[in-house]
Structure 1
Amino acid sequence: MKNQSLFALATLLTTGVFAQEPIQFTAKGLVALSDADLSASTLVDGNLYKSKGSRDVLTVVKFPLDRNGQNITTAPISNSSALYDKAAVVSPNGRFAFVLEGHGPLGDTVATLKDGIKGLPAATRMFIVDLAPAKPTAKVVSVGALPTAITINPQGNTLAVASGEAGKEMRLVEFDNTGTPKRVITAPSPVPGARITDLVWSPAGDFIAYSIEDSQEVGIMKYSLDAAKKPNIVPHGKPIKVGGLPATGKFSPDGKFFIISDIKKGTNAQGAGKGELFVVQFSTEDTPGEHKIVSQLAAGESSESLTISPDGSMVVVANAGQSYQPYGNAAAGKSSLSVYTLDKEGKLTLANEYPFEGVLPQSIEFDKNGAAIAVAVSEYIDYGDRSGAIEFWKVNKGDKPSLEKMAGKISVPRGCHTVRVY
């Protein structure tokens, strides 16, 4: 009988019945940012609910995971959830993370924020984080006052950074293989005097999409190198209106479409109401025609963050709802994910929706083969020493794609607002 039991155990181990890991995610690693200053409900009630001694953190996760957390490290990198998920990029080779500070840190003695975002300290810094060492290391450079968004070209050697510096709202930062900037070129906003709130490099590397929150517009700039290999960007065509408060935009993998979320209203005590998704087709001819909206569709409330599958067939949106409300509100902590199909003509169709318990999911990304997604969750309806997390969902592909929540999650410091996969 004993021998039979041992044989049965050996069979289970061999066949992998015990090998099903609670997190299955195909990637070299991921980077997450946590803002220790702002609680999710701060912009509603002004209270920071900050834990004494807590500091902003960058978390590096390398796969495969180890239950003891040996593959999870942290570094004290200042960052701000006020930038949503536009605060960081990782180089295509996974060597460097580039993080915008956005706003400076608040001291432990500050308990409330009276003027909303305006009450946060100004910042000019970008951190260049080397992910290769066992303990990440960082260099610091200035990228102009109040940087708002960052993107990296597909070749992995140039950044585009938006800031609030008048007449220099755009920066192209070329860097070498040590992550050190070797040339910085400034340019004015493509819409004179306007603050850029999102930047996305096209998959081919020849255009940069931009969003202007104040005028509710999106457009593109053409990127090129002159004979001396000096980079140049110029506005390409006129920007196009997209809703009331354009948030996060992404190119489809083939570069044919640009999908952008419209959250209508920012965080507030009354909620934002239903959002909307726009599918834009930019005119990329040498002589630009008009950019056009090829489809639009109602979305969930506060549908800030979205991701597109590697094959371009699916769009998944994280809906924050009113999860950011103070704990006494019935809507607090209730978020959802929406799954859409995207056809070859740019039409979006809702396939499935999934409620889940989590506060203010602000960032979402597919893994490398499109079989799973990672979602950054700011916090939960918890008391005491609160934490955020990266949650994972399995993707079931098909005509009506669906999701299954994985059993495991990665706990990170409270205020998680950005996740980047590499």
Structure 2
Amino acid sequence: MKKQSLAFTLSMMAGAALAQQGPVQFSARGIVALSDADMAASAFVDGNLYKDKGVRDALTTIQFPLDRNSDKMGSVVVSNSMTLLDKPLAVSNNGRVAFVLEGRGQVSDSVATLKNGINDLPASNAMYIVDISNAAKPTVKFRFPTGGSLTALAITPQSNALIVASADAGKELKIIEIDNTGKPTRVLTAEAPTKSGQITDLTFHPSGQYVAYSIAGSQEVGLMKYAIDNASKKPYLIAHGAPIKVGAMPGTGKFTADGKFFVVTDSKKAANAQGTGAGEVFVVQFSTEEKPGEHKIVSQAATGESPEALAISPDGSTVIIANSNQSYLPFNSGKAGKSSLSVYSLGQDGKMTLANEYPFDGIMPQAVEFDKTGDAIAVAVSEYLDYGTRTGGIEFWRVTKGDKPALTKQSGRVSVTRGVHSLKVIQ
């Protein structure tokens, strides 16, 4: 009996270890996710929303390590739009406050089809400020008007100010100073650094002294200097060098952790019934000298079709691109629901080399993020080829580091409101 008891005890201990290990390994305090429940991804092609009655746009908070208790997750209704890139969401560096650009407003359950495309979705000029300090119960604190046709949001590394891109003539950029609760304390405005089109993406340099921007319509990326005026103590933005042409439709971009390189996707065309063809990814080296020199492209590489999002490992050696391919097509298409991840090594010289590609089932992955160790990634999947109850998902992959980085899909995933399109990791 003693031997049986010992064996049983060891078995229980092993079971407990396995339970702690779990099907999802991701080194972070949490994840914040945005879901646009108004739109099926295929609405970009046929206009049909396939709305589920009563399901609303949501912000979801997820706490790690995961278990099967409901107090690890919470959600709150926050209107948002997948028509923006993956930059309508920012989180303070203490992980207690989230900021969300509405982009486009929600439509009623009675609206089944967009007859005029996304122009049928009501325009918005609002930003939501959400208290996420309690992962089980996020709470909207403010709905703050910030200007017309909002497109992108960036937060300073110090989390004391936000930069918002809008279409307001002569006031295209809003500098919103915030206190430690996330409440706006002062709003300043600045002109866009160029008049060639509306800014579609904003990213702070790790130093906090520069902001990169993309303009999809004019195929440009550029840099602005962010500084504080010594006399007035007011922050300001000013162009730092001339923008450069990058691809055909530059999208989302991110800096390496050391700020040496800026990596940006190029999807070539907007999602459409015929597909967009293979995309590209570019590595840009911005001039950050006091007197700016010429910004330059140091390398580029092919991607899958419709590269929607990218992530750069904390050590800067690996880049992951999430490709929608033609997964957003209506369900009766043979290419619907088939996406992929492209994995690249990034050299000290900025050269990108394709290491591996991984097809997977899922519709329109629009966000991907590394954990704090670089050993895992989270991927936001808008929805699946599911009938009946439909959800989005956050999937997880292990990362094998090295000269030829590789991925292994983890068996667990987090189900969230369908239309998930933006993620932020709380370290």
TM-score by length of 2: 0.96
1:403 aligns with 2:400: no
User: Gaps spanning 5+ residues in structure 1: where?
Assistant: none
Code of the aligned partner of 1:346: G
8 Å CA contact retained: 1:42, 1:48: yes
Q: For 1:402-422, what per-residue CA distance to the aligned partner results, in whole angstroms no more than 9, with x for missing partners?
A: 111111000001111111101
Counterpart of 1:204? 207
Q: For 1:373-412, what aligned pairs fall within 5 Å after superposition?
A: 373-412=377-416
CA distance in 2, matches of 1:193, 1:66: 49
Q: Give the C-alpha shift of residue 340 in structure 1.
A: 0.5
Counterpart of 2:178? 175
Q: For 1:39-188, what aligned pairs fall within 5 Å after superposition?
A: 39-133=40-134, 134-138=136-140, 139-188=142-191
8 Å CA contact retained: 1:166, 1:193: no
CA distance in 2, matches of 1:44, 1:61: 32
1:306 aligns with 2:307: no
8 Å CA contact retained: 2:196, 2:218: no
8 Å CA contact retained: 1:273, 1:302: yes
Counterpart of 1:28? 29
Q: CA RMSD in A?
A: 1.2
1:268 aligns with 2:234: no
8 Å CA contact retained: 2:85, 2:200: no
Q: For 1:169-226, what per-residue CA distance to the aligned partner results, in whole angstroms no more than 9, with x for missing partners?
A: 1011110012111111101111126210000000000100000111000000001111
Code of the aligned partner of 2:380: A
Code of the aligned partner of 1:159: L
CA distance in 1, matches of 2:12, 2:190: 60
Among residues 321, 343, 347, which one is paired with 2:351 in the alignment? 347
CA distance in 2, matches of 1:169, 1:5: 73
CA distance in 2, matches of 1:377, 1:109: 26
8 Å CA contact retained: 1:334, 1:356: yes
CA distance in 2, matches of 1:175, 1:8: 58
CA distance in 2, matches of 1:176, 1:8: 57
Code of the aligned partner of 1:136: P
SS state at 2:99 partner: strand
SS state at 1:114 partner: coil
CA distance in 2, matches of 1:55, 1:67: 24
8 Å CA contact retained: 1:203, 1:251: yes
Among residues 391, 414, 418, which one is paired with 1:414 in the alignment? 418
Code of the aligned partner of 2:382: S
Counterpart of 2:339? 335
Code of the aligned partner of 2:7: A
User: Gaps spanning 5+ residues in structure 2: where?
Assistant: none
CA distance in 1, matches of 2:8, 2:229: 66
1:286 aligns with 2:286: no
8 Å CA contact retained: 1:30, 1:420: yes
| Distance change (3 Å), C-alpha of 1:123 and 1:333 | same
Q: Give the C-alpha shift of residue 17 in structure 1.
A: 4.7
CA distance in 2, matches of 1:18, 1:62: 16
CA distance in 2, matches of 1:207, 1:23: 36
CA distance in 2, matches of 1:335, 1:7: 48
CA distance in 2, matches of 1:11, 1:394: 28
Q: For 1:238-257, what per-residue CA distance to the aligned partner results, in whole angstroms no more than 9, with x for missing partners?
A: 10001111111000110010
Code of the aligned partner of 2:248: G
SS state at 1:117 partner: helix
Code of the aligned partner of 2:3: Q
Code of the aligned partner of 1:259: V
Q: Give the C-alpha shift of residue 18 in structure 1.
A: 5.0
Count matched residues: 421
Counterpart of 2:7? 8
8 Å CA contact retained: 2:367, 2:423: yes
Code of the aligned partner of 2:388: G
Q: Give the C-alpha shift of residue 398 in structure 1.
A: 1.3
Could you list the runs of 4 or more consecutive aligned residues of structure 1 that deviate by over 6 angstroms after TM superposition? none
| Distance change (3 Å), C-alpha of 1:175 and 1:17 | closer
CA distance in 2, matches of 1:19, 1:186: 49
8 Å CA contact retained: 2:85, 2:201: no
Code of the aligned partner of 2:55: S
TM-score by length of 1: 0.98
Code of the aligned partner of 1:117: I
Code of the aligned partner of 1:281: Q
8 Å CA contact retained: 1:261, 1:306: yes
8 Å CA contact retained: 1:57, 1:74: yes
Code of the aligned partner of 1:64: P
CA distance in 1, matches of 2:85, 2:234: 31
SS state at 2:363 partner: coil
Code of the aligned partner of 1:125: A
CA distance in 2, matches of 1:116, 1:338: 30
8 Å CA contact retained: 1:167, 1:193: no
| Distance change (3 Å), C-alpha of 1:14 and 1:292 | same
Q: Give the C-alpha shift of residue 54 in structure 1.
A: 1.4
Q: Give the C-alpha shift of residue 96 in structure 1.
A: 0.5
Q: Give the C-alpha shift of residue 12 in structure 1.
A: 4.3
**Aligned sequence identity (%):** 58
Q: For 1:339-380, what per-residue CA distance to the aligned partner results, in whole angstroms no more than 9, with x for missing partners?
A: 100010000011111111000000000011111100000000
